[in-house]
Structure 1
């Protein structure tokens, strides 16, 4: 592969990394709030956050286009700042974050809910506030599940195709990620290039699954 052919590979890993950081910053507080809250509204919010996992990529991409396009309030605001969102690297990152963050929230919430309530009660009896409990009790006990969520989120962001294509297009050297490059290579009859990119994606997915399985096994062994 020449330098230009390497661009989709580097872009995909860069986008997945940035999307994972954004997802961690946004998703961890949400997972914590959902994990410690009770009531019907919690499941309603959880259902809304899970929608990107269920909606077809074209539908999700359409919603993002309407929300972030040049005719929207958000889109016009960023246009005025000289930072257009649609058909840019920013659009790729937004699409990757939106499609992947639900996987992290669901996994992290499960890990947080798995922390022993006895430990939480003891911390409260000792006078710890909720923020202190989060950092000193929840994170040390749920970090493996949270890490598994980060890995899963990274893999999902790395492999997104439909939503990214809708929001950012397929601009060579700008927004062409690996899944889009594979699609274009197949359309152009470039079988060798497609095989290489598919192999990289497959190996990455396999490594991700191994990492998640190892983390989950450690979580279960710690809970026994």
Structure 2
């Protein structure tokens, strides 16, 4: 796999992140989470050998948490709480575009000042990673539904995961596992929401 293939993967990750910001249907947001999780598999083999057991542990965790478990819990929560399918953004598309362009300019500035990158990483890929991380933060600004906010946190964690892959030299082995904390957030949020709903139902019955 050459640089151009991975450039495409990172570009697709950013494009799914942009769709996060403008998509107003919750189920489609979950589908985007699944797609982004699948795309995360490829950069693992950019930075690690395919016969490295560490690579396959990461792939297993990506599939388990980011492709299966997290989307499944989010979908279950939507069904269980009978949530409305449609959501509304906090700001319009023009304001969202403005915030994105600001982040794009900052990402270019940061990457331009980086002195050295790993041999297997192209500079444009680092720009995409910073953009993905920024898009996760931007979701907290432009969206207001709690499930889309969690989706933004997931995207932010995906960006952090890619950064730890790129900057793996000098970092403790296994530090990228911290990027799977989003799954725990989704599970705890879903459980807390269900307990609250059960409590309110119990009070109404009384």
Same fold? TM cut 0.5: no
TM-score, normalised with respect to structure 1? 0.27
Larger Cα-atom Rg: 1
